[in-house]
Structure 1
Amino acid sequence: MAPRANKIRLSKGGNSAGKVRFWKPTVAESREGIIVQAKIPGDIQRIVDFKRKRMLDMGLHLQPFIILIGKDFTNIQKAYVRIDSVSYELPSLLKALDLLFKIYLVFNLQYPLECENFCYLIQWGLYEIRTKSDEQIPFVFNTLNQMKREDKKMQLS
């Protein structure tokens, strides 16, 4: 799913003290908002440090995310959910994704801004959970409605 259509207004601070800054995440940044890949376990700390510094530079907080270990996404050896400085190993990407979304929902955490659309699509479409604190994103509503219409068409065929 594409990143937010609008630019994200970042908080004041970071490297440009006092200035209001905007960020329009790329597709790659959106993808890496909740899932990053490391080729070997030794890359994990470097990836976490880079991600944490990047968020800090923009005045944002590092939110929980998934780290996959493997040479590519088709050869995943391990999956972790990273929360602050702790990594929890899970048996698969699906289990890691499930735990990650449960953490976001139980602790009422804000989704990473760069992949907010994707996160709400999963929350509303897959888990069918709505909360009072949900951001109202028309693009996600439209996508879910289109998916439901396509599903009905397939069932009628």
Structure 2
Amino acid sequence: MRSLHQVRMIISQDFEQLHPEAAEKLFQNWATIAEKVLAYAQQEGKLAPVLDNLTPVANNGERALKILPRLLPPSIYKVGGKVFRPTAEESQSAFIYVQPVGTNMVEYINTSQLNQQGPHVLCLGDEFITNQAFIIISGHAIEATSLLEAVDVCFKAFFVFDVNYPKQCVPTWEFIQHALYNIDGHESSAVKFLRTTFFSTD
């Protein structure tokens, strides 16, 4: 039986076979894009202020990952005949679900509705600090060395297992697909606008 660490490695290796030119793109490009995400979020009034000098602040890359979904309007989707309009908070949680340090992982895996929606990222910490990051796949929590690695492995899992992005945060994953990994596919007008906004400032 494979260990969870081996599963993480296999996902990365299988993705590299599918898209060898894209395998390392997130790590190569994110630092630059993260600065643009934070600057744009500040401009749009969507970045929570640091309250005082005692407030712990994550590195810019982690904070930008957590705020990214708020820069894109959540996509409206249907299940059966019912129309769903996710809020910005729901979109953010579907992309990176933040829970406090000390969360019971077994209980989370057994009860979280996100587990029914395919792979997702779980962060133990808060808006400013990431203490631990996991990729949740098929009821298993695979610990990552960083939040960026968790997002990387989660993204690759969508391609390796041929599953759709969670409906609540499709635009966020589409942005990552096009702006970071440079992989062709569907791109909404909102995603294209944000992507071109960032790159037009270079």
Shorter-chain TM-score bucket reads 0.7 to 0.9
Q: Which letter maps to 1:88?
A: I
Q: Which letter maps to 2:149?
A: K
TM-score (ref. length: structure 2):
0.59
CA RMSD of aligned residues (A): 2.1
**1:121-141 superposed Cα distances (whole Å, 9 cap, x missing partner):** 0110011111xxx33412212
Distance of aligned partners of 1:44 and 1:37 in 2 relative to their CA distance in 1, 3 Å threshold: farther
Distance of aligned partners of 1:146 and 1:83 in 2 relative to their CA distance in 1, 3 Å threshold: same
Q: Tell me the secondary structure at the aligned position of residue 135 of structure 2.
A: strand
Distance of aligned partners of 1:143 and 1:2 in 2 relative to their CA distance in 1, 3 Å threshold: closer
Residue in 2 aligned with 1:77? 131
Q: Write the mapping of 1:95-114 to structure 2, written as runs, cut at 5 A.
A: 95-114=149-168
Q: Percent identity?
A: 23
Residue in 2 aligned with 1:2? 72
Residue in 2 aligned with 1:15? none
Following the alignment from structure 1 to structure 2, what is the Cα–Cα distance between the partners of residues 66 and 4?
A: 18
The offset of 1:40, in angstroms, is 3.0
Q: Tell me the secondary structure at the aligned position of residue 170 of structure 2.
A: helix
Q: Write the mapping of 1:81-92 to structure 2, written as runs, cut at 5 A.
A: 81-92=135-146
Q: Write the mapping of 1:23-42 to structure 2, written as runs, cut at 5 A.
A: 23-42=84-103
Q: Which letter maps to 1:63?
A: G
The offset of 1:143, in angstroms, is 1.9
Aligned residues: 132
Q: Which letter maps to 1:145?
A: T
TM-score (ref. length: structure 1):
0.74
Distance of aligned partners of 1:50 and 1:3 in 2 relative to their CA distance in 1, 3 Å threshold: farther
Q: Which letter maps to 1:148?
A: F
Richer in helix (by share) = 2
Q: Write the mapping of 1:115-130 to structure 2, written as runs, cut at 5 A.
A: 115-130=169-184
Name stretches of at least 5 consecutive residues in structure 2 with no aligned partner. 1-70
The offset of 1:108, in angstroms, is 2.4
